[in-house]
Amino acid sequence: MGRFDGVLLCSDVDGTLAIGKEIPQRNLDAIAYFQSEGGRFTLATGRPAGYQHTFPFRVNAPVVSDNGACITDCDSGRVIWTFPLDGCGALLEWLDQSTAPICTFDFSDELVRAAPGNVVETFLGHKGADLFKIVCHGFASEEEAVAFRDLAKETFCERYGISRSWSTGVEFISPLGGKGNCVSFLRKICDDVHTVVAVGDYENDVTMLLAADLAFAPSNACPEVCAVHPNPVCSCREGAVGDVIDELARRFG
């Protein structure tokens, strides 16, 4: 029996676990310890499925990718569940008239870029694959991205999941997906789990933090994350995930 038996720790990647592909050694040591004591560690990221293989550790629970549009078995690579962005004609037409500099389609088979005025045409040329999300980016400032996000939310209410995943990146996903819904799904399919822990730093992590039994955020977290009052830990650069696991060791000791 390990001290972390039944505990599932879901971590965001960029700005939480890692900076680019660089992970503080404190995090790597803590993840190894957490798993050796029975804990289940996985990623909930905006990155595509398979991105976890770029890191020098092995997740031992299904991975949430594409900002909560896909759940993949970490061992076999089998897709367990997807939440494609369906019925998005109105959104595509709106984006064609928008101020977003670049729109990137995250299809199940590749990433495809489109500029406003060419959004609908680009989508129709690739509509055979599932569309996981649309990312609008390249804004001149954070203020411009926030204004675009707010206008999108006002225009579409809750028809789509809309959030920033970095300061100048606005993402559109299915309302059925999102990191929070995926973490709740993991709770159901991982029948040995009694406690779900989440750590994240940006707007797209908020639903996950709310869905968890214990929520943490690094000191570099954005104001929208701080507003839901997760437990604070050190910054990403200092080893935020290691800090979380240290706190779990105190709680489950």
What domains appear along the chain, each with residue ranges and CATH number?
A: 7-82+179-251 (3.40.50.1000), 89-173 (3.30.1240.10)
CA nearest to 15, candidates 149, 207, 164: 164
Strand partners, 107: 131
* Helices then strands, each counted (H, E), the chain: 8, 13
The predicted model gives 37-46 an average pLDDT of 96
Write out pLDDT tens, residues 43-65. Answer: 999 998 888 888 999 999 999 99
d(CA 16, CA 193): 23
DSSP β-ladder status, 111-114 and 102-107? antiparallel
Q: Is the pLDDT of residue 159 over 90?
A: yes
In percent, the amount of the chain with pLDDT more than 90 equals 87
For all residues of the chain together, what is the average pLDDT? Answer: 95
Q: Which of 57-61, 76-80, 173-177 has the lowest mean pLDDT?
A: 76-80
pLDDT, residue 167, reads: 96
CA nearest to 6, candidates 230, 194, 221, 145: 194
Write out pLDDT tens, residues 180-223. Answer: 999 999 999 998 999 999 999 999 999 999 999 999 999 999 99
Q: Is the pLDDT of residue 30 over 80?
A: yes
Q: Which two tokens stand for residue 3?
A: 């001290």
What are φ and ψ of residue 217, in 5° steps? -145, 140
